[in-house]
């Protein structure tokens, strides 16, 4: 299930770059109507990448293991719904 999650994250990153249209949308510079959302999204990406590195380590040492396959399936379903909303 973890492999599917990693694949969905990669799909999101590829889609994010390709769905942005126009020079201003592709730019990482804050525009006049930005209100700091670009920095917040960047911070969310940073947290995601840190968690991608930390999750397998925690799993290896059995730290904070949820133990429920249902939670994993719900998480994957939420990722798919999020991708569908983004399109």
- Tell whether 31 is covered by a domain: no
* Collapsed DSSP state (helix, strand, coil) of residue 63: coil
Q: Judge if pTM exceeds 0.75.
A: no
What is the predicted pLDDT for the residue at 74?
93
Nearest partner of 87 among 33, 20, 42, 34, judged by Cα: 20
- When divided into structural domains, the chain yields a total of 1
H-helix or E-strand spanning residue 81: helix 69-86
- Domain with 61, as residue range(s), is 2-24+36-86
- Tell whether 58 is covered by a domain: yes
- Tell whether 50 is covered by a domain: yes
- Tell whether 30 is covered by a domain: no
pLDDT digits (tens, 9 = 90+) for 15-49: 877 877 777 666 666 667 777 777 787 888 889 88
- Tell whether 78 is covered by a domain: yes
- Tell whether 41 is covered by a domain: yes
């Amino acid at each position: 299930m973890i492999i599917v999650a990693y694949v969905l994250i990669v799909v999101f990153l590829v889609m994010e770059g390709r769905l942005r249209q126009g020079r201003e949308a592709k730019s990482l510079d804050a525009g006049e109507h930005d209100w700091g959302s670009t920095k917040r999204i960047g911070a969310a990406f940073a947290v995601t990448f840190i968690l991608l590195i930390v999750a397998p380590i925690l799993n290896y040492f059995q730290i904070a293991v949820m133990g429920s396959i249902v939670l994993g399936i719900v998480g994957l379903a939420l990722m798919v719904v999020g991708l569908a909303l983004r399109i």
